[in-house]
């Protein structure tokens, strides 16, 4: 079976073809431009590829209400041209096949639960920490949607006592994204992340803020695995710092072996590496076939 | 159909009998004593009542892993005698009927989604703010479990700039419960909550801390309704204060009509009033019958 996947980011798109084992057989990547132009490239890629379904994991916010007339739309993004764009409808005009649709981070959480670090688990959380910060969550086997979808990048976090930076979020100033995204690190230290040495205090602050979000996710959602991806997390020395900080903050209140004794296997990088998002899009496509069969039985 | 429900609190137990409409036909309440003694009273109440199932919504933490040998146990509570107590097993020795088992706050969320303020919705969150603070959550139609269950009472919250109180949580000091539970209010002001006048700054602080938790829940879980119950929320003048604060904190980032225009119907008291927990226990019992039939089909 061949399935198509689109990982739609604010900066670049990745389109790929894969199979039900999560193997990517072919993929291309191109910069995100105006929506019509960008979608044309997607359509050209999938044309004549005979995929049985397409899954889309995309930047947002997006409409996920199946009975809304705007299901499949990007909604209120400040990204020029993309607000109120009928993403899924544009694809459906070209391909009459089942389609999956979710946020990029929910897709990554799904991909990791299918083939990656959370394989076989009924719950996991995926944080991406890069240009922005986002969170996807699989809980009791389902991706979380509700009023909208999680927007945990904008969590309020308590500022570190040694940090007088005010943050860069245009909505909230010093929320998680305002304090700990890649651009926030760059603005605070006037250095690019990859130019900052490992023993620099920048990383203590970064581990502090990320651990606040991780601890919050544990207390709110109680996931069986926490996966941290995105450009900032390529700084692998952050992992042990975050794990230690999370243990200190929880202070053994959550009496779970995974946290107290097994935290090295509990807070982990993506098992699928940089393919988490695209594999997740494949998984969305596979699930769309399953749901389609259920609806038409 | 008659169903039994137990709302098991750290201070008192409520046992009730109800029907599939969520109507309570009979109930009793007694103080929580040693586990054997307390369960004896439950068993005596349900004896000869011919209930078809019993649902239990209980204080915790509890074991919810169906394939664990300790499923149905209270786990690590400091409450004397109750740690590692086989709650559900004790009931099952007496009654060979389907039994539901969850936290008191998850039960309340389920009850509210079945018959209360979140009726018909696929997601809602229930906070109880009283002697302790707890959160239950129904997401995509399922109550949240994972590594354990939500423990959102212990969320880290940013202290209010005018508040130098250090909190009373033995684990975390100034977490949500440490700063905003009933005993925290009492300790900070040296006054009982019900003795504090409505225009006292205590309520500004209280609304501030609760709104931090509500905002966190919106960003993490995106629920379709937020229900605030528990003794502290009997101070109904807190509701408009919390709603306003939540809107200010989110600053229109979550572009949802329910928050921007309809917040009076979004953050609400329990539709079932003080019966949310017991009705939720009934709903757990009803669902246990359904699951039992599915398993034995």
Q: Which residues of B touch A149 (CB under 8 A)?
A: 222
Residue B46 banded pLDDT, cuts 50, 70, 90? very high
Of all residues in chain B, what percent carry a pLDDT higher than 90? 94
Task: Report pLDDT for B295.
Answer: 61
User: Is A106's pLDDT higher than 50?
Assistant: yes
Q: Which whole-number Å values give the CA distances from B244 to A102, B32, B208, B263, B266, in the listed order?
A: 31, 38, 10, 9, 12
Q: Which of B143, B147, B218 sits opposite A256 (nearest CB)?
A: B147
Report the residue count for chain A.
Answer: 297
Whole-number Å distance between alpha carbons of A185 and A193: 7
Q: What is the mean pLDDT of residues B75-97?
A: 94
User: How far B103 CA lies from chain A's nearest CA (Å)?
Assistant: 13
User: Is A26's pLDDT higher than 70?
Assistant: yes
Q: Which of B148, B222, B253 sits opposite A150 (nearest CB)?
A: B222
Q: What is the mean pLDDT of residues A215-240?
A: 97
Domains along chain B with CATH numbers? 3-104 (3.30.420.40), 117-269 (3.30.420.40)
Q: Which residues of A touch B141 (CB under 8 A)?
A: 142
Q: What is the mean pLDDT of residues A144-152?
A: 94
Residue A295 banded pLDDT, cuts 50, 70, 90? low
Cβ contact (<8 Å) for B224 and A147? yes
Q: Which residues of A touch B118 (CB under 8 A)?
A: none
Q: Which residues of A touch B154 (CB under 8 A)?
A: 219, 250, 253
Q: Which of A142, A155, A216 sits opposite B142 (nearest CB)?
A: A142
User: Is A296's pLDDT higher than 60?
Assistant: no
Cβ contact (<8 Å) for A220 and B152? yes
Task: Report pLDDT for B47.
Answer: 96
Residue A77 banded pLDDT, cuts 50, 70, 90? confident
User: How far B225 CA lies from chain A's nearest CA (Å)?
Assistant: 8
Cβ contact (<8 Å) for B219 and A152? yes
Task: Report pLDDT for B79.
Answer: 87
Q: Which residues of A touch B146 (CB under 8 A)?
A: 122-123, 139-140, 221-224
Cβ contact (<8 Å) for B254 and A139? no
- 3-class SS string, chain B: CCEEEEEECCCEEEEEEECCCCCEEEEEEEECCCHHHHHHHHHHHHCCCCCCCEEEEECCCECCCCCCCCCCEECCCCCCCCCCCEHHHHHHHHCCCCEEEEEHHHHHHHHHHHHCCCCCCCCEEEEEECCCEEEEEEECCEECCCCCCCCHHHCECCCCCCCCCCCCECCCECEHHHHHCHHHHHHHHCCCHHHCCCCCHHHHHHHHHHHHHHHHHHHHHCCCCEEEECHHHHCCCHHHHHHHHHHHHHCCCCCCHHHHCCHHHCEECCCCHHHHHHHHHHHHHHHHHHHHHHHHC
Q: What is the mean pLDDT of residues A153-180?
A: 95
User: Is A118's pLDDT higher than 50?
Assistant: yes
Q: What is the mean pLDDT of residues B52-64?
A: 96
Q: Which of A113, A143, A221 to mutate to test the interface with B (most CBs of B within 10 A)?
A: A221
Structure tokens at A242: 């975050």
Q: Which residues of A touch B61 (CB under 8 A)?
A: 255
Of all residues in chain A, what percent carry a pLDDT higher than 90? 94
Q: Which of A155, A171, A221 sits opposite B144 (nearest CB)?
A: A221
**A171-222 residue pLDDT tens:** 999 999 999 999 999 999 999 999 999 999 999 999 999 999 999 999 999 9
Q: What is the mean pLDDT of residues B181-190?
A: 97
Look over chain A and give the mean of its residue pLDDT values, rounded to a whole number: 96
Q: What is the mean pLDDT of residues A284-295?
A: 88
Task: Report pLDDT for A13.
Answer: 98
User: Is A167's pLDDT higher than 80?
Assistant: yes
User: Is A297's pLDDT higher than 50?
Assistant: no
Size of interface A-B (CB pairs under 8 A): 149
Cβ contact (<8 Å) for B145 and A222? yes
Whole-number Å distance between alpha carbons of A222 and B145: 7
Residue A293 banded pLDDT, cuts 50, 70, 90? confident
User: How far B12 CA lies from chain A's nearest CA (Å)?
Assistant: 24
User: How far A170 CA lies from chain B's nearest CA (Å)?
Assistant: 10
**B128-153 residue pLDDT tens:** 999 999 999 999 999 999 999 999 99
User: How far B71 CA lies from chain A's nearest CA (Å)?
Assistant: 14
Residue carrying the six token digits 């003080």: B274
Q: Which of A74, A219, A266 to mutate to test the interface with B (most CBs of B within 10 A)?
A: A219
Residue B255 banded pLDDT, cuts 50, 70, 90? confident
Q: What is the mean pLDDT of residues B275-290?
A: 97
Task: Report pLDDT for B292.
Answer: 81
User: What burial class does residue B96 get, using C-beta atoms within 10 Å of its C-beta: 0-12 exposed, 13-18 middle, 19+ buried?
Assistant: exposed
Residue B296 banded pLDDT, cuts 50, 70, 90? low
Cβ contact (<8 Å) for B220 and A152? yes
User: Is B49's pLDDT higher than 70?
Assistant: yes
Task: Report pLDDT for B297.
Answer: 45
Task: Report pLDDT for B76.
Answer: 86
**A55-76 residue pLDDT tens:** 999 999 999 999 999 999 999 8
**B189-226 residue pLDDT tens:** 999 999 999 999 999 999 999 999 999 999 999 999 99
Q: What is the mean pLDDT of residues A97-122?
A: 98
Q: What is the predicted ipTM?
A: 0.95
Q: Which residues of B touch A221 (CB under 8 A)?
A: 144, 146, 150, 220-221
Task: Report pLDDT for A292.
Answer: 81
Look over chain B and give the mean of its residue pLDDT values, rounded to a whole number: 96
Q: What is the mean pLDDT of residues B51-62?
A: 96
User: How far A132 CA lies from chain B's nearest CA (Å)?
Assistant: 14
User: How far B31 CA lies from chain A's nearest CA (Å)?
Assistant: 26
């Amino acid at each position: 079976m061949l399935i198509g996947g689109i990982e739609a980011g604010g900066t670049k798109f990745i389109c790929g073809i894969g199979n039900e084992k999560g193997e990517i057989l072919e993929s291309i990547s191109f910069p995100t431009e105006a929506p019509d132009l960008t979608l044309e490239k997607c359509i050209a890629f999938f044309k004549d590829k005979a995929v049985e379904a397409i899954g889309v994991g995309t930047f947002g916010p997006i409409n996920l209400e199946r009975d809304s007339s705007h299901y499949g739309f990007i909604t209120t993004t400040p990204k020029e041209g993309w607000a109120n764009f009928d993403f899924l409808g544009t694809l459906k005009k070209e391909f009459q096949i089942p389609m999956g649709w979710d946020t990029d981070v929910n897709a990554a959480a799904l991909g990791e639960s299918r083939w990656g670090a959370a394989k076989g688990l009924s719950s996991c959380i995926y944080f991406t920490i890069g240009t922005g910060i986002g969170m996807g969550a699989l809980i009791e086997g389902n991706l979380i949607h509700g009023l909208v979808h999680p927007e945990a990048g904008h969590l309020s976090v308590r500022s570190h006592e040694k940090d007088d930076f005010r943050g860069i979020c245009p909505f909230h100033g010093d929320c998680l994204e305002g304090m700990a995204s890649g651009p926030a690190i760059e603005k605070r230290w006037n250095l690019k992340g990859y130019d900052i040495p490992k023993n620099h205090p920048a990383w203590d602050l970064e581990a502090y803020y990320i651990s606040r979000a991780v601890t919050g996710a544990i207390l709110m959602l109680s996931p069986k695995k926490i996966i941290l991806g995105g450009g900032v997390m390529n700084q692998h020395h952050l992992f042990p710092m975050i794990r230690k900080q999370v243990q200190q903050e929880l202070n053994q209140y959550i009496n779970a072996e995974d946290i107290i004794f097994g935290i090295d296997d509990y807070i982990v990088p993506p098992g699928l590496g940089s393919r988490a998002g695209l594999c997740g899009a494949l998984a969305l496509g596979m699930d769309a076939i399953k749901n389609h069969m259920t609806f038409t039985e």
